[in-house]
Amino acid sequence: MPAFTVQKRSRIGRARLGTLTTPHGTVHTPAYVIVATHAQVRTLSPHDLKKTGTRLVISNTYHLWNRAQKSYGVVRRRLGISMPTMTDSGGFQVFSLGAAHEHGVGKVLKRGHQRKMDRPKFSHVRITEKGVHFTVNGEKRFLSPESSIATQQRLGADIMFAFDECTSPLHPLNYTRTSLARTHRWAVRCLNAHTKKDQMLYGIIQGGRFKRLRAQSAKTIGAMDFEGFGIGGSFGKDEMRATLAAVIKHLPDNKPRHLLGIGTVTDIFDAVEAGVDTFDCVIPTREARHGKLYTDHGPVDIRKTKFATDTRRLLASNAIFGRLHRLFRTHNPKAGRLATMHNVRWFNLLLERIRAALADGSYHSFKRKFLTSFLRP
């Protein structure tokens, strides 16, 4: 049976070392979860993915819907490699295909952002108590708490998430409060629909940008019989730490916590210190495909001329920077593969170093030296 064990607690905030045991392997936490939207990490083969040291991936229930209806275990077959897997619930698409269109905003609200009035104000979703109706490119789909869980069970993930509504950072208090109450009712339905006990089910904490609602959600979801918890929804640019502080103190200490869709370098340190065990983000893969390469001295644009003769070695593939520069400049599809392998390996290595620093008590020193180098002007 899946299990989570806290191995060591740090003196740094609520940071902790743990092991997340699943039927397909053990994950040492804190850990970065690599996004494999269609049960594949874009540009990478199973062999490539293995070389990056990835131990946990998350796939998209909404986008794998049709495949799930045809057969069981789609995620692991498409990955082509046996490793622990997560699937989201489809709740983020309620936002991305709905309020994101209406409000012209992402899940993280930037400073000074206003509703983009020049955007068409339409939504591809209609939310009811029973569930959510999607209409995209003429295709209609209905997703409910029950069908989300059934789909995730068919996908074969080791860790699933309850179906929820991810609200917009521009939603007002009254709307967010109403949505949150519905999400809590949906959480009960998800628990009732969960029949495969070798798959862990996480409840999701919502509440938007309102700390009082976040705390309320943490208390309500935390009291339910979930095996772990996801912290989802929208954030303001400078609100993540305050949100985590408002949430995590109300969650059971012996269960894992996952931060959904957040994973910049500074976010990683903040999340770890707040007591988050895992987090996922598209940054390592998406930015790699556009030539942004992560190094300990900060990210670089490998497409710039100054890297044409750079002989430093890429992580995971051992190719040189100069070769990757030429591949990007000639639009060679191999460029995305090599850059993605490097970035994914770099983020996984960063978490390995964080775990080692927490284990031997050198975290403060490691963080100071690392961020001084990474964030240098």
Distance from chain centroid for Cα 14: 20
In sequence order, the β-bridge partners of residue 22 are 25
What is the rounded distance in angstroms from the CA atom of residue 335 to the CA atom of residue 292? Answer: 11
For 55-66, give the DSSP string.
--EEE-TTTTHH
3-state secondary structure of 320: strand
Using alpha carbons only, what angle is made at residue 39 by residues 339 and 77, rounded to the nearest 5 degrees? 120
Residue 88 appears among annotated catalytic residues: yes
Distance of alpha carbon 270 from alpha carbon 292, whole angstroms: 23
126 CB-near residues (< 8 Å, 6+ apart): 132, 133, 135
Which of these, 259, 242, 342, 329, lies nearest to 296 by C-alpha position? 342
Active site residue: 88, 164, 267, 277, which one?
88
Give the angle 283-288-293 at the CA atoms, nearest 5°.
100
Q: Per the structure block, which two tokens stand in for 140?
A: 């209609």
What is the C-alpha to C-alpha distance for residues 77 and 110, in angstroms, rounded to an integer? 39
- Cα dihedral sign, 98-104-109-115: negative
Cα(246)–Cα(208) distance, integer angstroms = 12
- For residue 276, give the nearest of 296, 286, 261 by alpha carbon: 261
Computed from CA positions of residues 151, 91, 38, 5, in that sequence, does the dihedral angle turn out positive or negative?
Answer: negative
Active-site residue, selected from the candidate residues 253, 270, 280, 310:
280
Q: Which residues contact 92 (CB under 8 A, 6 or more apart)?
A: 62, 107, 166, 232, 260, 261
> Active site includes 280?
yes
Query: Would you please indicate which residues are annotated as catalytic (active-site) residues?
Result: 88, 280
